[in-house]
A and B are shown apart, each in its own frame.
Chain A
Amino acid sequence: MTMSDGRAAVVAGHGAFAAGMVSAVARIVGEAHGLVPVDNEEGTPDTIAAAIARALDAAGATVCFTDLPAGSCTMAARRLARARPGLVIVTGASLPVLLAYATGGDVDAAVRAGQAALVATAPAA
Protein backbone atom coordinates (compact mmCIF):
# COMPACT_ATOMS: atom_id res chain seq x y z
CA MET A 1 0.00 0.00 0.00
CA THR A 2 1.28 3.45 -0.82
CA MET A 3 0.66 6.32 1.48
CA SER A 4 1.42 9.98 1.72
CA ASP A 5 3.72 10.33 4.71
CA GLY A 6 1.68 8.22 7.09
CA ARG A 7 1.41 4.53 7.93
CA ALA A 8 -1.37 2.09 7.35
CA ALA A 9 -4.21 2.03 9.86
CA VAL A 10 -7.68 0.61 10.20
CA VAL A 11 -10.68 2.84 10.92
CA ALA A 12 -13.69 1.09 12.44
CA GLY A 13 -17.00 2.33 13.75
CA HIS A 14 -20.77 2.31 13.83
CA GLY A 15 -22.74 2.25 10.60
CA ALA A 16 -20.82 3.88 7.75
CA PHE A 17 -18.66 5.99 10.06
CA ALA A 18 -15.43 4.44 8.83
CA ALA A 19 -16.23 4.61 5.13
CA GLY A 20 -17.40 8.19 5.55
CA MET A 21 -14.31 9.25 7.47
CA VAL A 22 -11.93 7.58 5.03
CA SER A 23 -13.82 9.11 2.12
CA ALA A 24 -13.40 12.54 3.73
CA VAL A 25 -9.68 11.95 4.27
CA ALA A 26 -9.32 11.00 0.61
CA ARG A 27 -11.05 14.20 -0.46
CA ILE A 28 -8.50 16.22 1.47
CA VAL A 29 -5.19 14.39 1.02
CA GLY A 30 -5.88 12.12 -1.93
CA GLU A 31 -6.35 8.39 -2.20
CA ALA A 32 -2.89 7.37 -0.94
CA HIS A 33 -3.81 7.81 2.71
CA GLY A 34 -3.24 4.29 4.03
CA LEU A 35 -6.51 4.09 5.96
CA VAL A 36 -8.70 1.00 5.63
CA PRO A 37 -12.36 1.36 6.69
CA VAL A 38 -14.30 -1.31 8.56
CA ASP A 39 -17.99 -0.50 8.85
CA ASN A 40 -20.14 -2.23 11.43
CA GLU A 41 -23.67 -2.86 10.24
CA GLU A 42 -25.20 -5.16 12.87
CA GLY A 43 -22.15 -7.38 13.28
CA THR A 44 -21.59 -9.71 16.20
CA PRO A 45 -18.56 -9.27 18.46
CA ASP A 46 -16.93 -12.16 16.60
CA THR A 47 -17.66 -10.92 13.08
CA ILE A 48 -16.54 -7.39 13.92
CA ALA A 49 -13.28 -8.68 15.41
CA ALA A 50 -12.72 -10.86 12.36
CA ALA A 51 -13.33 -7.94 9.99
CA ILE A 52 -10.89 -5.72 11.90
CA ALA A 53 -8.30 -8.50 12.00
CA ARG A 54 -8.59 -9.06 8.24
CA ALA A 55 -8.22 -5.35 7.59
CA LEU A 56 -5.20 -5.06 9.89
CA ASP A 57 -3.53 -8.01 8.20
CA ALA A 58 -4.34 -6.85 4.69
CA ALA A 59 -2.97 -3.40 5.38
CA GLY A 60 -0.05 -4.50 7.52
CA ALA A 61 -1.38 -2.10 10.11
CA THR A 62 -0.73 -1.94 13.85
CA VAL A 63 -3.05 0.98 14.57
CA CYS A 64 -6.83 0.89 14.79
CA PHE A 65 -8.92 4.05 15.08
CA THR A 66 -12.45 3.63 16.43
CA ASP A 67 -15.36 5.93 17.12
CA LEU A 68 -16.85 5.38 20.59
CA PRO A 69 -14.84 4.18 23.61
CA ALA A 70 -17.76 1.85 24.43
CA GLY A 71 -18.54 0.92 20.84
CA SER A 72 -18.62 -2.62 19.52
CA CYS A 73 -15.63 -1.96 17.27
CA THR A 74 -13.58 -0.67 20.17
CA MET A 75 -14.46 -3.70 22.26
CA ALA A 76 -13.59 -5.99 19.36
CA ALA A 77 -10.27 -4.22 18.80
CA ARG A 78 -9.42 -4.47 22.49
CA ARG A 79 -10.09 -8.19 22.37
CA LEU A 80 -7.82 -8.48 19.34
CA ALA A 81 -5.11 -6.62 21.22
CA ARG A 82 -4.80 -9.53 23.63
CA ALA A 83 -3.34 -11.61 20.82
CA ARG A 84 -1.64 -8.65 19.15
CA PRO A 85 0.29 -6.87 21.89
CA GLY A 86 1.61 -4.27 19.44
CA LEU A 87 -1.83 -3.11 18.39
CA VAL A 88 -2.51 0.53 19.22
CA ILE A 89 -6.18 1.51 19.59
CA VAL A 90 -7.27 5.13 19.41
CA THR A 91 -10.87 5.82 20.40
CA GLY A 92 -12.88 8.92 19.64
CA ALA A 93 -11.39 9.25 16.17
CA SER A 94 -12.40 12.30 14.17
CA LEU A 95 -11.46 13.74 10.81
CA PRO A 96 -8.65 15.91 12.25
CA VAL A 97 -7.23 12.83 14.03
CA LEU A 98 -7.26 10.74 10.87
CA LEU A 99 -5.84 13.50 8.71
CA ALA A 100 -2.97 14.02 11.12
CA TYR A 101 -2.21 10.32 11.17
CA ALA A 102 -2.55 9.87 7.42
CA THR A 103 -0.10 12.65 6.78
CA GLY A 104 2.28 12.17 9.67
CA GLY A 105 2.02 8.59 10.87
CA ASP A 106 2.34 9.60 14.52
CA VAL A 107 -0.40 8.43 16.88
CA ASP A 108 0.41 10.91 19.63
CA ALA A 109 0.44 13.80 17.20
CA ALA A 110 -2.87 12.60 15.76
CA VAL A 111 -4.48 12.54 19.21
CA ARG A 112 -3.19 16.03 19.92
CA ALA A 113 -4.57 17.23 16.60
CA GLY A 114 -7.98 15.86 17.51
CA GLN A 115 -7.93 17.47 20.92
CA ALA A 116 -6.83 20.80 19.47
CA ALA A 117 -9.57 20.73 16.85
CA LEU A 118 -12.36 20.29 19.37
CA VAL A 119 -13.49 23.84 19.98
CA ALA A 120 -16.90 25.28 20.78
CA THR A 121 -17.38 28.85 19.64
CA ALA A 122 -19.52 31.05 21.84
CA PRO A 123 -22.43 32.76 20.11
CA ALA A 124 -21.81 36.33 19.08
CA ALA A 125 -23.03 38.81 21.68
Chain B
Amino acid sequence: MTLELFRIDDRLVHGQVVIGWGLPHALGFLVVVDDEIAAAPWEQELYRMGTPEGMEVRFATVDEAAAALPAYRADPRAGMLLTADITTMARLIEAAPSVAAVTIGGLHHRADRVPRLRFVFLSPAEAAALRALAARGVAIAAQDVPTSAPVPLEAVLAADGTE
Protein backbone atom coordinates (compact mmCIF):
# COMPACT_ATOMS: atom_id res chain seq x y z
CA MET B 1 0.00 0.00 0.00
CA THR B 2 1.03 3.60 -0.44
CA LEU B 3 -0.26 7.08 -0.85
CA GLU B 4 -2.75 6.21 -3.55
CA LEU B 5 -5.38 8.94 -3.62
CA PHE B 6 -5.06 12.66 -4.31
CA ARG B 7 -8.35 14.42 -3.58
CA ILE B 8 -9.59 17.99 -3.89
CA ASP B 9 -12.41 18.58 -1.41
CA ASP B 10 -13.37 21.86 0.23
CA ARG B 11 -14.44 19.97 3.36
CA LEU B 12 -11.06 18.20 3.67
CA VAL B 13 -11.52 15.58 6.42
CA HIS B 14 -15.18 14.54 6.73
CA GLY B 15 -17.52 11.55 6.56
CA GLN B 16 -16.98 10.63 2.91
CA VAL B 17 -13.23 10.65 3.46
CA VAL B 18 -12.87 8.75 6.72
CA ILE B 19 -15.79 6.36 6.21
CA GLY B 20 -16.70 6.34 2.52
CA TRP B 21 -13.12 6.00 1.29
CA GLY B 22 -11.40 5.20 4.55
CA LEU B 23 -13.04 1.84 5.19
CA PRO B 24 -12.92 0.19 1.73
CA HIS B 25 -9.40 1.43 1.07
CA ALA B 26 -8.27 0.73 4.64
CA LEU B 27 -6.74 4.19 4.81
CA GLY B 28 -4.11 4.39 7.51
CA PHE B 29 -3.17 8.00 7.04
CA LEU B 30 -4.38 11.28 5.58
CA VAL B 31 -2.20 14.19 4.52
CA VAL B 32 -3.93 17.56 4.64
CA VAL B 33 -1.95 19.96 2.44
CA ASP B 34 -2.84 23.52 3.32
CA ASP B 35 -0.45 26.32 4.16
CA GLU B 36 -2.84 27.96 6.63
CA ILE B 37 -3.86 24.81 8.48
CA ALA B 38 -0.21 23.72 8.66
CA ALA B 39 0.37 26.82 10.78
CA ALA B 40 -2.81 26.54 12.88
CA PRO B 41 -2.60 24.01 15.72
CA TRP B 42 -6.23 24.61 16.70
CA GLU B 43 -7.42 23.71 13.19
CA GLN B 44 -5.24 20.63 13.21
CA GLU B 45 -6.75 19.51 16.50
CA LEU B 46 -10.21 19.99 15.01
CA TYR B 47 -9.43 17.55 12.22
CA ARG B 48 -7.72 15.09 14.54
CA MET B 49 -10.82 15.02 16.75
CA GLY B 50 -12.84 13.84 13.79
CA THR B 51 -10.53 11.09 12.68
CA PRO B 52 -11.16 7.51 13.75
CA GLU B 53 -8.71 5.53 15.80
CA GLY B 54 -6.03 3.99 13.65
CA MET B 55 -6.11 6.73 11.01
CA GLU B 56 -3.29 9.24 11.30
CA VAL B 57 -3.69 12.80 10.02
CA ARG B 58 -0.63 14.73 8.96
CA PHE B 59 -0.55 18.41 8.07
CA ALA B 60 1.85 19.97 5.62
CA THR B 61 2.44 23.09 3.61
CA VAL B 62 2.65 22.65 -0.16
CA ASP B 63 6.43 22.78 -0.03
CA GLU B 64 6.61 20.30 2.84
CA ALA B 65 4.24 17.90 1.11
CA ALA B 66 6.15 18.07 -2.16
CA ALA B 67 9.37 17.23 -0.34
CA ALA B 68 7.72 14.45 1.65
CA LEU B 69 5.90 12.72 -1.22
CA PRO B 70 8.53 9.96 -1.53
CA ALA B 71 8.17 9.26 2.19
CA TYR B 72 4.37 9.22 1.93
CA ARG B 73 4.62 6.77 -0.95
CA ALA B 74 7.02 4.57 0.98
CA ASP B 75 4.56 4.31 3.85
CA PRO B 76 3.30 0.73 4.07
CA ARG B 77 -0.20 1.99 4.89
CA ALA B 78 -2.74 3.21 2.35
CA GLY B 79 -3.06 6.97 2.37
CA MET B 80 -4.97 9.88 0.90
CA LEU B 81 -3.66 13.39 0.27
CA LEU B 82 -6.20 16.19 0.46
CA THR B 83 -6.33 19.80 -0.62
CA ALA B 84 -9.29 22.12 -0.17
CA ASP B 85 -8.93 23.76 -3.57
CA ILE B 86 -7.57 23.36 -7.07
CA THR B 87 -4.92 26.04 -6.65
CA THR B 88 -3.24 24.17 -3.81
CA MET B 89 -3.27 20.86 -5.71
CA ALA B 90 -1.87 22.60 -8.78
CA ARG B 91 0.91 24.13 -6.70
CA LEU B 92 1.74 20.71 -5.27
CA ILE B 93 1.87 19.13 -8.72
CA GLU B 94 4.04 21.97 -9.97
CA ALA B 95 6.48 21.18 -7.18
CA ALA B 96 6.05 17.40 -7.45
CA PRO B 97 5.22 16.50 -11.06
CA SER B 98 4.99 12.78 -10.31
CA VAL B 99 1.33 13.04 -9.29
CA ALA B 100 -0.49 11.06 -11.97
CA ALA B 101 -4.16 11.31 -10.99
CA VAL B 102 -6.40 13.63 -9.01
CA THR B 103 -9.97 13.16 -7.87
CA ILE B 104 -12.38 16.03 -7.32
CA GLY B 105 -14.32 14.94 -4.26
CA GLY B 106 -16.27 18.08 -3.56
CA LEU B 107 -16.15 21.72 -4.60
CA HIS B 108 -19.39 23.34 -3.62
CA HIS B 109 -21.45 26.38 -4.46
CA ARG B 110 -19.79 29.77 -4.37
CA ALA B 111 -20.81 33.04 -5.98
CA ASP B 112 -18.23 32.81 -8.76
CA ARG B 113 -18.86 29.14 -9.53
CA VAL B 114 -21.32 27.42 -11.83
CA PRO B 115 -22.75 23.96 -11.20
CA ARG B 116 -21.16 21.04 -13.05
CA LEU B 117 -22.18 18.05 -10.97
CA ARG B 118 -24.19 17.73 -7.76
CA PHE B 119 -20.96 18.01 -5.80
CA VAL B 120 -18.79 20.00 -8.22
CA PHE B 121 -19.12 23.72 -8.86
CA LEU B 122 -16.34 25.47 -10.78
CA SER B 123 -15.40 29.03 -11.61
CA PRO B 124 -14.02 29.73 -15.11
CA ALA B 125 -10.54 30.11 -13.60
CA GLU B 126 -10.86 26.76 -11.82
CA ALA B 127 -12.02 25.05 -15.01
CA ALA B 128 -8.98 26.48 -16.81
CA ALA B 129 -6.69 25.32 -14.00
CA LEU B 130 -8.05 21.79 -14.28
CA ARG B 131 -7.58 21.83 -18.05
CA ALA B 132 -3.98 22.93 -17.51
CA LEU B 133 -3.38 20.04 -15.14
CA ALA B 134 -4.90 17.62 -17.62
CA ALA B 135 -2.74 19.06 -20.40
CA ARG B 136 0.36 18.14 -18.45
CA GLY B 137 -0.81 14.56 -18.19
CA VAL B 138 -2.64 14.43 -14.87
CA ALA B 139 -5.74 12.21 -15.04
CA ILE B 140 -8.60 14.15 -13.46
CA ALA B 141 -12.03 12.82 -12.56
CA ALA B 142 -14.83 13.74 -10.18
CA GLN B 143 -15.93 11.08 -7.72
CA ASP B 144 -17.43 11.75 -4.31
CA VAL B 145 -17.58 8.19 -2.98
CA PRO B 146 -15.97 4.95 -4.18
CA THR B 147 -19.29 3.38 -5.13
CA SER B 148 -20.12 6.12 -7.64
CA ALA B 149 -18.62 6.08 -11.12
CA PRO B 150 -15.75 8.50 -11.70
CA VAL B 151 -16.68 11.29 -14.11
CA PRO B 152 -13.79 12.26 -16.41
CA LEU B 153 -12.80 15.91 -16.53
CA GLU B 154 -14.18 16.54 -20.01
CA ALA B 155 -17.57 15.20 -18.94
CA VAL B 156 -17.45 17.35 -15.81
CA LEU B 157 -16.74 20.46 -17.86
CA ALA B 158 -19.50 19.59 -20.31
CA ALA B 159 -22.07 19.12 -17.55
CA ASP B 160 -24.39 21.80 -16.24
CA GLY B 161 -25.26 20.41 -12.81
CA THR B 162 -28.57 18.90 -13.87
CA GLU B 163 -27.46 15.30 -13.87
Interface residues of A (CB under 8 A from B): 14, 42-45, 47, 67-72, 74-75, 78-79, 82
| Interchain CB contact under 8 A, A75 and B108 | no
What separation, in Å, do the CA atoms of A82 and B42 have in the docked complex? 10
What separation, in Å, do the CA atoms of A42 and B110 have in the docked complex? 12
Contact of B13 among A14, A47, A67, A70 (CB under 8 A): A70
What separation, in Å, do the CA atoms of A78 and B42 have in the docked complex? 11
Whether a CB of chain A sits under 8 angstroms from the CB of B73 is no
| Interchain CB contact under 8 A, B109 and A69 | no
Among the stretches B49-57, B74-82, B131-139, B147-155, the one at the interface with A is: B49-57
Contact of B17 among A67, A70, A82 (CB under 8 A): A70
Chain B residues within an 8 Å CB radius of A79: 46
Most chain A CB atoms below 10 A, which of B14, B18, B46, B109: B14
| Interchain CB contact under 8 A, A42 and B106 | yes
Chain B residues within an 8 Å CB radius of A43: 108
Chain A residues within an 8 Å CB radius of B50: 68-71, 74-75
Chain B residues within an 8 Å CB radius of A69: 49-50, 52
Contact of B15 among A14, A42, A44, A82 (CB under 8 A): A14
Whether a CB of chain A sits under 8 angstroms from the CB of B91 is no
Chain A residues within an 8 Å CB radius of B109: 42, 44, 47
| Interchain CB contact under 8 A, A72 and B46 | no
**How many B residues, CB 8 Å from partner?**
21
| Interchain CB contact under 8 A, B15 and A70 | yes
User: Contacts A47-B109, A72-B15 given: A42-B118 contact, CB under 8 Å?
Assistant: yes
Nearest CB in chain A: distance from B156 CB, A: 15
Nearest CB in chain B: distance from A83 CB, A: 12
Chain A residues within an 8 Å CB radius of B46: 75, 78-79
What separation, in Å, do the CA atoms of A43 and B11 have in the docked complex? 9
Chain B residues within an 8 Å CB radius of A75: 11, 13-14, 46-47, 50
What separation, in Å, do the CA atoms of A67 and B16 have in the docked complex? 13
Nearest first, the 9 closest Cβ-Cβ pairs linking A and B are A70-B50, A44-B108, A71-B15, A70-B18, A72-B14, A68-B15, A72-B11, A69-B50, A78-B46
Nearest CB in chain B: distance from A46 CB, A: 9
Chain B residues within an 8 Å CB radius of A42: 106, 108-109, 118-119
Contact of B11 among A44, A67, A78, A82 (CB under 8 A): A44
Contact with A along B1-25 (1 / 0, CB 8 A): 0000000001101110111000000
Nearest CB in chain A: distance from B79 CB, A: 16
A to B CB contacts below 8 Å, 27 in the list: A14-B15, A42-B108, A42-B109, A44-B108, A45-B11, A47-B108, A47-B109, A67-B15, A68-B14, A68-B18, A69-B49, A69-B50, A69-B52, A70-B13, A70-B14, A70-B18, A70-B50, A71-B14, A71-B50, A72-B14, A75-B14, A75-B46, A75-B47, A75-B50, A78-B46, A78-B49, A79-B46
